[in-house]
């Protein structure tokens, strides 16, 4: 069964006037006070009056700085009401199947990057076109293509202007090459990249992955390469990570290990967001056309 993200948090937010818990997160070490203040003011909270955040044990008012957030309890002070944003969060599948329509995306991301953009691990077998353990990840998930179209996120893509009748979601600019284990964690919103803090990688769960505080590899974001990853899709994923990990009790972390004989569809139907994930899985399977590509 899926679990929420509260148990491993070491930072907690409270409404100073009521004592109500508003959310929190796990700080591995890379999230700065400046980023936390921005997150509270621009993503998590709806506050109409002036507000401030104080570290409870020290009484220190937090100002935007490059200092790392110190674990502990933080109180949000305001003369007006404080509420948590109800901005939509989108669950996503843990699926690595590639249909013919995605082959060009996969090949393009491999050719551009040649290594895991997150860990820096180089694929030594690339000269022989062997990519075992490496996967081309969509930053904005393919299974939410209808939302991509609805909100016109194709405007974030600048290398496919001549492609007629395409949503542009399979642009290389919406992709990163990752090791397989990191791809799964990326899809679970357990880490993300903040393009507005030097492309820093931030993890949101206890881990020994060795990526917290690393910088996204420059090979995938070279501005002189027309296929560089889009900052806007990275911002979208980072915002989704904030909503998944820091708001209220957080969103569920879904099961990804389905042994042979497991009724995957029954599991999905029983989960939070199960209906949405069931429909996405069904649509994903229907999209695959055997023999295509």
Half-sphere exposure of 17 (CA within 13 A, CB side): 9
Statement to judge: residues 104 and 207 lie in one domain: yes
Statement to judge: residues 26 and 105 lie in one domain: no
Tokens of 237: 């994923």
Query: Is the residue at 93 inside a domain?
Result: no
Distance from the first to the final alpha carbon of the chain: 36
Give the pLDDT of residue 102: 77
Give the pLDDT of residue 143: 86
Please report where in the chains the tokens 């399979």 appear, as a residue. Answer: 170
Where does a domain end: 45, 60, 84?
A: 84
Statement to judge: residues 77 and 131 lie in one domain: no
- Cα of 36 vs its chain's centroid, Å: 17
Q: To the nearest 10°, the Cα dihedral for 56, 59, 63, 64? A: -40
Statement to judge: residues 123 and 249 lie in one domain: yes
Statement to judge: residues 68 and 167 lie in one domain: no
Statement to judge: residues 60 and 134 lie in one domain: no
Q: How many domains does the chain have?
A: 2
Statement to judge: residues 79 and 109 lie in one domain: no
Query: Is the residue at 1 inside a domain?
Result: no
122/22 Cα distance (integer angstroms): 41
Where does a domain end: 84, 108, 137?
A: 84
**CA angle (148, 280, 253) in 5-degree steps:** 95
- Cα of 274 vs its chain's centroid, Å: 19
Give the pLDDT of residue 280: 47
| DSSP symbols for 138-192 | ESS-GGGHHHHHHTTGGGG--S-TT-TT--STT-GGGEEEEEHHHHHHHHTTSEE
Statement to judge: residues 145 and 225 lie in one domain: yes
Residues 33, 65 contacting (CB under 8 angstroms): yes
Query: Is the residue at 276 inside a domain?
Result: no
184/105 Cα distance (integer angstroms): 18
Query: Is the residue at 275 inside a domain?
Result: no
Statement to judge: residues 150 and 240 lie in one domain: yes
Strand partners, 72: 11
Give the pLDDT of residue 32: 98
Query: Is the residue at 91 inside a domain?
Result: no
Query: Is the residue at 292 inside a domain?
Result: no
Strand partners, 139: none
Q: What is the pLDDT along the chain (293 residues), one digit of tens a residue?
A: 446 799 999 999 999 999 999 999 999 999 999 999 999 999 999 998 999 999 999 999 999 999 999 999 999 999 999 999 999 998 886 544 444 557 899 999 999 999 999 999 999 999 999 999 999 999 999 888 889 999 999 999 999 865 555 789 999 999 999 999 999 999 999 999 999 999 999 999 999 999 999 999 999 999 999 999 999 999 999 999 999 999 999 998 865 544 455 454 555 555 555 445 444 444 544 444 333 33
Statement to judge: residues 77 and 145 lie in one domain: no
Where does a domain end: 30, 54, 84?
A: 84
Query: Is the residue at 90 inside a domain?
Result: no
| DSSP symbols for 191-256 | EEEETTTTTEEEE-S----S-TT-B--GGG--TTSTTPPPHHHHHHHHHHHHHHHHBTT-PPBPP-
Give the pLDDT of residue 4: 79
Give the pLDDT of residue 291: 34
Statement to judge: residues 80 and 108 lie in one domain: no
Q: What strands lie across the sheet with 21-25, from one edge to the other?
A: 21-25, 11-15, 72-78, 51-55, 60-61
Number of C-beta neighbours around residue 200 at 10 A: 19
Query: Is the residue at 250 inside a domain?
Result: yes
Strand partners, 53: 76
Tokens of 279: 């429909």
Number of C-beta neighbours around residue 277 at 10 A: 21
Statement to judge: residues 79 and 150 lie in one domain: no
SS3 category, 82? strand
Range of the domain at 230: 100-260
């Amino acid at each position: 069964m899926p679990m929420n993200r509260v148990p491993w948090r070491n930072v907690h937010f409270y409404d100073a006037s009521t004592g109500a818990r508003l959310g929190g997160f796990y700080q591995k070490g890379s999230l700065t006070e400046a980023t936390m203040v921005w997150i509270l003011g621009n993503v998590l909270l709806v506050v109409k009056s002036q507000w401030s955040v104080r570290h409870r044990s020290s009484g220190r008012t937090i100002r935007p700085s490059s200092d790392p957030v110190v674990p502990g309890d933080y109180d949000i002070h305001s003369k007006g009401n404080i509420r948590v944003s109800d901005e939509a969060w989108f669950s996503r599948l843990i699926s690595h199947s590639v249909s013919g329509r995605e082959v060009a995306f996969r090949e393009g991301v491999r050719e551009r990057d040649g290594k895991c953009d997150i860990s820096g691990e180089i694929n030594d077998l690339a000269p022989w076109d062997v990519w075992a353990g490496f996967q081309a990840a969509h930053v904005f998930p393919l299974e939410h293509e209808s939302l991509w179209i609805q909100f016109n996120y194709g405007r974030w893509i600048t290398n496919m202007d001549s492609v007629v009748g395409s949503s542009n979601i399979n642009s290389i600019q919406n992709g990163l090459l990752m090791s397989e284990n990191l791809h799964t964690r990326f899809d679970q919103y357990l880490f993300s990249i903040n393009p507005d803090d030097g492309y820093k990688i931030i993890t949101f769960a206890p881990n020994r992955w060795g990526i917290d505080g690393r910088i996204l590899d420059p090979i995938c974001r070279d501005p002189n390469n027309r296929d560089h990853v889009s900052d806007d899709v990275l911002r979208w994923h980072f915002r989704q990570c904030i909503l998944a990990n820091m708001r209220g009790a957080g969103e569920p972390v879904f099961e990804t290990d389905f042994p042979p004989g497991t009724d995957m569809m029954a599991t999905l139907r029983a989960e939070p967001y199960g209906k949405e994930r069931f429909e996405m899985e069904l649509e994903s399977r229907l999209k695959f056309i055997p023999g295509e590509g």
